[in-house]
Structure 1
Amino acid sequence: MTTQQKSFSKAENEVMPEFRRRINEAESTEDVKKFFTYTIRELFDKIFPDGAQLNLDEIRLQPEESPGYWISESVLGREDVTGVWSMSDLPNILERLAQVAGNRHAHLMKNPQRSESKIRM
């Protein structure tokens, strides 16, 4: 018996344009982290319309770590999330979003002038 993997690429494609726009306009590493978290929360709302609301402290960007993000065990342990997480492309989607955000985060870390000039205004 084979198990079929569920794909959430449609939901990913729905959030990606706005996510890329926000990330590209981010002027600080904190903005990047915030936009990442908000987008993952939006993605979860699309995938789990009957629940699995994600609190902002349950997911965060971790660009220096693999896979690029952290998600709380309390979320992964939820009954509605567990099956989806292990039998879908959701972890890969989060990794792709973390990659985009991580690239912008790294760029802002190397070139802090823009965010510093914004702070001084």
Structure 2
Amino acid sequence: MTKQMSYTKIENQLRPIFRERLDQAESVEDVKKFFVYTIQELLENAMGENGTVRFEDVCLDPDNEPGFALGPGITERPAFQEVWTDSDMSRIVGMFAETARNRYRRLEKNPAKTEAKMYHGHD
């Protein structure tokens, strides 16, 4: 039987920070950026000293399943594969992606609200 790793401790540390960031997001670009920052931190914590994740290695992909994409700069690294295989990491990243996707869609549907926040007082 293979050993199943769990990263829920890191997930539980990042979840409130992530939700706060999303609540403060004023545009879909903010949502994308905050998703990437959170996944960078999650993966770097999980991979330890072998885990530098570049911004361009992660992206929110709200129009496609599973809602995110990871580039070869990260997926081809042994440290990542060790963390991703036989663990709950894909579930955790998927959960963060789903939360970000929901916020993304709310902001996308209501651009006037976003613009009002961004440009208040600039008539």
Same fold by TM-score greater than 0.5:
yes
- Offset of 1:86 from its aligned partner? 1.4
Measure the CA separation in 1 of the matches of 2:82 and 2:88: 12
What is aligned with 2:104? 105
1:38-117 map, 5 Å: 38-117=37-116
Q: Which runs of 5+ in 2 are unaligned?
A: none
Amino acid at match of 2:40: R
Question: SS of the counterpart of 1:50?
Answer: helix
- TM-superposed CA distance for 1:119, in Å, is 3.3
Identity of aligned residues (%): 38
Stretches of structure 1 lacking an aligned partner (at least 5 in a row) = none
Offset of 1:80 from its aligned partner? 1.1
Deviation at 1:51, TM superposition (A): 2.1
What CA RMSD, in Å, does the superposition of the two structures yield over aligned residues?
Answer: 1.0
The aligned amino acid for 2:12 is N
Moved over 4 A (4+): none
What residue in structure 1 maps to residue 20 of structure 2?
21
Q: Which amino acid aligns with 2:77?
A: R
**Native 8 Å contact 2:14 2:42 kept in 1:** yes
1:36 aligned partner, one-letter code: F
